[in-house]
């Protein structure tokens, strides 16, 4: 039960306010990038490589140029003249905008056409693709072969590089962990592979780049989750041709889902900007779904060897993980720069493990570059999958109930703030009640009885638990930056004379409901009704600098900035109120929306009175106006957590699987808007079961993608998706001004192991200890066949 400090009319924290942004979306009046139409606008389309690894022998522009309405064909050689053919990635590697000699993955951008019409551009691309000659080479597809002596050297452009190894990263106490393993009663080990997947938001990526020659100004509407960072990157990459930062405006309009896929700078953006710059007309580029799936940054692709050591009583004593990370042909991951494998080191999870060591090696292959964080705060899905899977493996080995084993090993409430063996200080947590609540909600003991009865009859059902700890809210400036830009975030709040307000942020919602939730934060702190506060994001000309929205960071950073800005405003408001009421500041008390005199509450001034006075009757010597800006540097990350339980039924003859129930208990600290939080959880759960059962980008040995459309890259529909049963515990963050933690990615992180654990649990009596996701009916059929259940 959430107790709200403000009334429903004010609508502060805890109220399930209906969303302000809905008004345009339910009428089809949202403005997404492809909705932008400008006079004289041209269309760009991209010719792509059919080969995973090939030399470009020749490009004949003439056939395409002959088509009426085609204005230009742009190749790598053209961009080279402006030194724009390569660009930096967010991980300080380099990526081709367009190649000059070699293509490195199937569907790579090879040349672009600019035409007066979308349809003509498509015809031109077909003509162009038919007139490009390649000499194909044997690609490197298997990352395990990337360091073989006979592997092709994929990045000869990188000085001093003699192999396909990108970097090695490790953390933890290697020696102490080795010792723990040597001394352990029990050690379990599994190979855990999380394949490539794609965020596949319903809106694909694109931009409209509009360079106005007379003004020398570039405006780009772009599907980007981080408009300011993009603006700075463009200035760094193209500053030498005259696009300096004050001449660039990036606008993130409405975005149809981001999930991390709209963080990178894709070659298409850069080509469109270059084209507009050279031609002086607006250029629109919107990718097809096929292009989106086949060429944009993937997520995951981690091959992990996971080991857990324990006493025979079940107390975990050590964790050791070795990972091979397949980054495609360049490291275009979207991680904070000091963390090439993101926040993977959260991998000790919810458990009190005294020592741990994890190392990873990243390699190049002939596949699209990446990886982005598919709704998971930088590799946390991989980490949580590893620890939650191996915990179940340990439970199975010891013959222990997996819930029981978790209770035994949870970090206890009194251990917080807790320093993990891999160096994170968890701010707060209380894991046992969340698991207990999930077990009660699902009827755990009854389900175990049912499972035993079914097993005796040859029926298959499984119960899978996942008790995860997430790490979000990147991040404190001492450790977190992207390309050197610190990961603070910002809020700029201005109150108008009539007591209404406008606030702008450095983040950018792609459906998270910021227009409502930020208003609720300000309503909480200022007592101005949320409906009177206008929220804006995404226009770099007007919004304060921020690092954007991904990794569940908005509430922890910009939300905190809003609270801090509101406090600054309240400080000034107090002075004005004291002046108006002719008392000293110490004589005043605050309740949401007004200052009143202690002991004489009828003598008060509302925030609206004060706002008016700030422009009409403020004290001498004080600046007019009532506004504040705050750039918030979070002191720590936040650590939302939860316990999920998945109940799975498996048809023992066809191996078809159905999620019977999915219970999710989440703890994201104090809740801003329960309706929005629950919506986020539902969506995150759907994006959790999807990779667990349906999603996987599949390549053959020649690097051909076998499922690059929605026909075969499978997103669950409403029929495959179960009814979500959700609940909460609330353990506020001690360091966040609102006690809030961020939540949208927890379910994507926590759900896959619950599903995988359920399937393994259903088959554990057959001796199965592990199945990689996606757990498909075919995979399960193979197991049932192998174990003789299916003849």
Partner 1 sequence: MIPPTFDYLVPATLPEAIALLHEHGDEAKVLAGGHSLIPAMRLRFAEPSHLIDISHIPGLDYVREEGGFLKIGTMAREVVLEDLPWISERYPLLVDTTKMIADPQVRNLATVGGNLAHGDPANDHPATMLAYRAEIEITGASGARTVPIDEFFTDFFTTALEHGEILTEIRIPIPPARSGGCYLKVERKVGDYAAAAVAVQLSLAADGSIEQAGIGLTNVAALPTRAVDAENALRGQQPSDALFAQAGQLAADASSPADDLRGSAEYKLTLIRELIQRALRRSVERAQGRS
Partner 2 sequence: MSKHSITIEINGESFTREVDSRKLLIHFLRDDLALTGTHIGCDTSSCGACTILLNGKSIKACTFFAVQANNQKIETIEGVEQGGQLHPLQEGFHQEHGLQCGFCTPGMIMRGKELLEKNPNPTEEEIRWGISGNLCRCTGYSNIIKSIQYAANKLNEKQEEAA
State the nearest-atom distance from the C-beta of 126 to partner 1, in Å: 7
Catalytic residue among 48, 300, 320, 375: 375
Q: Does 255 bind partner 2 (CB under 8 A)?
A: yes
**Binding partner at 654 among partner 2, partner 1, none, C-beta below 5 to 8 Å by kind:** partner 1
| Whole-angstrom distance, CA of residue 556 vs CA of residue 66 | 54
* 4 a catalytic residue: no
Q: Which is nearer to partner 2, 172 or 513 (CB)?
A: 513
Q: Does 256 bind partner 2 (CB under 8 A)?
A: yes
* 745 a catalytic residue: yes
Q: Which is nearer to partner 1, 265 or 657 (CB)?
A: 657
Angle at CA 708, nearest 5°, toward 702 and 709?
Answer: 155
**Binding partner at 123 among partner 2, partner 1, none, C-beta below 5 to 8 Å by kind:** partner 1
Catalytic residue among 95, 106, 108, 225: 225
Distances (CA, A) of 547 to 150, 232, 244, 336, 493: 42, 11, 19, 11, 18
State the nearest-atom distance from the C-beta of 778 to partner 1, in Å: 4
Distances (CA, A) of 227 to 496, 552, 631, 646: 27, 17, 17, 38
Q: Which of residues 559-598 bind partner 2 (CB under 8 A)?
A: none
From 49-57, 149-157, 509-517, 554-562, span contacting partner 2 (CB under 8 A):
509-517
Task: Give exposure, 260-297, as e/b (b: 16+ Cβ within 10 Å).
Answer: bbbbbbbbbbbbbbbbbbbbebbbbbbbeebbbbbbbb
Helix, strand, or coil (residue 73): strand
- Quickly list DSSP for 257-319: --TTTTSS--HHHHHHHHHHHHH-S-EEEE--HHHHHHHS-EEEEEEEEEEEEE-TTS-EEEE
* 291 a catalytic residue: no
Helix, strand, or coil (residue 483): coil
* 656 a catalytic residue: no
Output the six-digit token pair for 49.
């490589």
State the nearest-atom distance from the C-beta of 260 to partner 2, in Å: 12
Q: Which is nearer to partner 1, 45 or 489 (CB)?
A: 45
Q: Which of 146, 200, 503, 561 binds partner 2 (CB under 8 A)?
A: 200
Q: Which of 724, 735, 742, 752 binds partner 2 (CB under 8 A)?
A: 724
**Binding partner at 162 among partner 1, partner 2, none, C-beta below 5 to 8 Å by kind:** none
Output the six-digit token pair for 579.
């002046």
Output the six-digit token pair for 695.
């999603």
Q: Which of 717, 778, 788, 791 binds partner 2 (CB under 8 A)?
A: 717
| Whole-angstrom distance, CA of residue 724 vs CA of residue 704 | 37
Q: Does 680 bind partner 2 (CB under 8 A)?
A: yes
Q: Which of 10, 11, 15, 34 binds partner 2 (CB under 8 A)?
A: 34
32-35 contacts, C-beta under 8 A, 24 or more apart: 32/203, 32/223, 32/253, 32/254, 32/255, 32/256, 33/203, 33/206, 33/207, 33/208, 33/221, 33/222, 33/223, 33/253, 33/255, 33/286, 34/203, 34/206, 34/284, 34/286, 35/253
**Binding partner at 686 among partner 1, partner 2, none, C-beta below 5 to 8 Å by kind:** partner 2
Catalytic residue among 492, 695, 696, 745: 745
Plot region of 495 (φ>0 → left; ψ -120 to 50 → alpha; else → beta): beta
Phi and psi of 120, rounded to 5°? Answer: -65, -40
Catalytic residue among 205, 207, 376, 646: 376
Output the six-digit token pair for 230.
């993009």
State the nearest-atom distance from the C-beta of 123 to partner 1, in Å: 7
Residues near partner 1 (CB under 8 A) are 118-119, 122-123, 126, 288, 290, 653-654, 656, 694, 698, 706-707, 711-712, 714, 716-717, 719-720, 776-778, 781-782, 785, 790
State the nearest-atom distance from the C-beta of 471 to partner 2, in Å: 23
State the nearest-atom distance from the C-beta of 122 to partner 1, in Å: 4
Which residue ranges make up the site for partner 2 (CB under 8 A)?
18-19, 21-32, 34-35, 37, 118-119, 199-204, 254-257, 259, 288-290, 510-513, 675-676, 678-687, 709-711, 715, 717-719, 721, 723-724
Residues with catalytic annotation?
Answer: 225, 375-376, 745
């Amino acid at each position: 039960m959430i107790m709200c400090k403000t009334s429903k009319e004010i609508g502060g924290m805890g109220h399930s306010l209906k969303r302000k942004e809905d008004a345009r979306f339910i009428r089809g009046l949202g403005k997404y990038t492809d909705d932008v139409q400008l006079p004289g606008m041209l269309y760009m389309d991209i010719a792509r490589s059919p080969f995973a690894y090939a030399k470009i022998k020749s490009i004949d522009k003439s056939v395409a140029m002959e088509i009426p309405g085609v204005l230009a064909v742009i190749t790598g050689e053209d961009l080279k003249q402006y030194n724009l053919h390569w660009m930096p990635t967010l991980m300080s590697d380099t990526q081709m905008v367009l190649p000059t000699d070699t293509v490195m993955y199937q569907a790579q951008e090879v040349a672009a056409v600019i035409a007066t019409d979308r349809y003509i551009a498509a015809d031109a691309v077909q003509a162009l693709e038919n007139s490009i000659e390649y000499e194909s080479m044997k690609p490197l597809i298997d990352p395990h072969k990337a360091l073989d002596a006979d592997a092709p050297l994929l990045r000869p452009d990188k000085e001093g590089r003699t192999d396909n190894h990108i970097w090695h990263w490790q953390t933890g106490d290697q020696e102490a962990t080795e010792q723990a393993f040597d001394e352990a009663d029990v050690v379990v080990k599994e190979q855990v592979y999380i394949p490539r997947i794609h965020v596949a938001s319903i809106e694909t990526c694109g931009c409209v780049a509009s360079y106005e020659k007379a003004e020398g100004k570039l405006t780009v509407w772009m599907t980007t989750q981080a408009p300011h960072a993009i603006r700075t990157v463009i200035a760094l990459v193209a500053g030498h041709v005259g696009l300096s930062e004050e001449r660039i405006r990036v606008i993130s309009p409405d975005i149809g889902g981001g999930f991390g896929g709209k963080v990178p700078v894709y070659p298409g953006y850069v080509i469109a900007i270059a084209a507009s710059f050279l031609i002086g007309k607006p250029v629109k580029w919107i990718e097809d779904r096929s292009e989106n799936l086949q060429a944009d940054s993937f997520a995951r692709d981690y091959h992990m060897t996971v080991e857990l050591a324990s006493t025979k009583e079940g107390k975990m004593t050590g964790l050791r993980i070795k990972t091979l990370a397949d980054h495609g042909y360049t490291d275009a991951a979207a991680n904070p720069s000091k963390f090439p494998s993101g926040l993977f080191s959260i991998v000790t999870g919810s458990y009190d493990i005294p020592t741990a060591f994890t190392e990873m090696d990243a390699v190049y292959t002939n596949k699209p570059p990446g990886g982005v964080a598919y709704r998971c705060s930088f590799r946390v899905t991989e980490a949580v999958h590893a620890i939650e899977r191996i915990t179940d493996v340990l439970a199975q080995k010891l013959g222990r109930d997996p819930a029981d084993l978790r209770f035994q090993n949870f970090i206890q409430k009194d251990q917080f703030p807790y320093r993990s063996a891999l160096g994170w200080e968890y701010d707060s947590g209380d894991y046992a009640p969340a698991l207990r609540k999930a077990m009660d909600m699902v009827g755990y003991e009854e389900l175990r009885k049912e499972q035993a009865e079914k097993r005796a009859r040859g029926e298959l059902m499984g119960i899978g638990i996942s008790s995860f700890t997430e790490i979000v809210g990147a991040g404190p400036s001492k450790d977190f930056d992207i390309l050197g830009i610190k990961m603070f975030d910002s809020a700029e709040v201005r109150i108008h004379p009539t007591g209404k307000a406008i606030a702008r942020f450095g983040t950018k919602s792609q459906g998270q409901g910021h227009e409502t939730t930020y208003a609720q934060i300000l309503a909480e702190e200022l007592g101005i009704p949320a409906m009177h506060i206008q929220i804006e994001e995404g226009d770099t000309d007007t919004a304060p600098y921020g690092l954007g929205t991904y990794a569940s960071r908005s509430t922890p950073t910009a939300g905190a900035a809003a609270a801090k800005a509101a406090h600054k405003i309240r400080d000034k408001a107090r002075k004005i109120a004291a002046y108006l009421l002719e008392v000293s500041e110490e004589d005043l008390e605050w309740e949401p929306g007004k200052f009143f005199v202690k002991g004489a509450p009828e003598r008060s001034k509302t925030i609206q009175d004060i706002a008016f006075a700030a422009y009409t009757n403020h004290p001498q010597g004080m600046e007019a106006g009532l506004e504040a800006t705050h750039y918030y540097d979070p002191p720590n990350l936040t650590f939302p957590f939860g316990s999920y339980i998945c109940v799975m039924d498996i048809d023992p003859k066809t191996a078809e699987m159905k999620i019977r129930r999915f219970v999710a208990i989440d703890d994201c600290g104090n809740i801003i808007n329960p309706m929005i939080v629950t919506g986020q959880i539902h969506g995150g759960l759907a994006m959790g079961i999807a990779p667990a059962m349906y999603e996987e980008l599949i390549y053959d040995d020649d690097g051909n993608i076998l499922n690059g459309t929605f026909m075969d890259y499978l997103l669950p529909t409403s029929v495959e998706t179960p009814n979500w049963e959700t609940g909460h515990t609330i353990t506020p963050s001690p360091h966040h001004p609102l006690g809030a933690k961020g939540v949208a990615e927890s379910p994507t992180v926590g759900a896959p192991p619950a599903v995988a654990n359920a399937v393994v649990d259903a088959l554990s009596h057959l001796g199965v200890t592990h199945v990689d996701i996606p757990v498909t009916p075919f995979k399960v059929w193979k197991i049932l066949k192998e174990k003789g259940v299916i003849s």
